[in-house]
A and B are shown apart, each in its own frame.
Chain A
Amino acid sequence: KAGVTQTPRYLIKTRGQQVTLSCSPISGHRSVSWYQQTPGQGLQFLFEYFSETQRNKGNFPGRFSGRQFSNSRSEMNVSTLELGDSALYLCASRLTGTPNTEAFFGQGTRLTVV
């Protein structure tokens, strides 16, 4: 069974640009969550999608958005990039939408904003 796939693995963008990251969950998993990981802030929750609906949203500005498609694949978009957006972006898929199932993380996309 294939794991969670995130693309691209690495990205370098310039301030002011926008970026789209992709996450393909494990087949059959309907919940996809996104996290931002930085050395100083740990794993910060961005948002969670379940069956194409955003169910939860973390404390991030509106520049961060996402969506989920009918095949459960998810994308997140960051507009007007800032230097502080440099981070490892991780997505995690879960079989169900309940918080008592384990999360399977992808390898992450390392975004560098210059």
Chain B
Amino acid sequence: GQQVMQIPQYQHVQEGEDFTTYCNSSTTLSNIQWYKQRPGGHPVFLIQLVKSGEVKKQKRLTFQFGEAKKNSSLHITATQTTDVGTYFCAGPNGQNFVFGPGTRLSVLP
């Protein structure tokens, strides 16, 4: 079946440093979604990418969808303590989604 992998599993950064998480799918995706889950919270939708090579920005967050539509990345510039949490990518699997294992980001003040 379809698999979605993410690296790294954990990332510890100093506040102000950049952070990137990578998502790879075993199959071509029609779209990819990103979610953020704060500690003790629930996943919250961040963005959806649909087009090959698409790049979208949300303030300090930059999302990219690979040309082959099998990988994606999320880059955070100048991390802040509010960025702490686990970032999940999710790709369609039939009518539903397969979530990656997530990247847990810690930001040291």
Contact = CB atoms under 8 A, between A and B. Distances in A.
Is this pair of chains taken from one and the same complex? yes
B73 to A, nearest CB: 19
Nearest to B98: A45
Nearest to A33: B96
Contact of A100 (B30, B41, B42, B100): B30
A89 B101 CA distance: 16
Which applies to chain A's interface (DSSP): helix, strand, loop or mixed? Answer: strand
A107 interface: yes
Given A45-B97, A45-B98, A99 B42 contact: no
Given A42-B101, A42-B102, A103 B45 contact: yes
B99 A104 contact: no
B82 interface: no
- Which one of A33, A55, A92 has the highest number of Cβ atoms from chain B below 10 Å of its Cβ? A92
Interface of A: 33, 35, 42-43, 45, 48, 50, 55-56, 90, 92, 97-100, 102-108
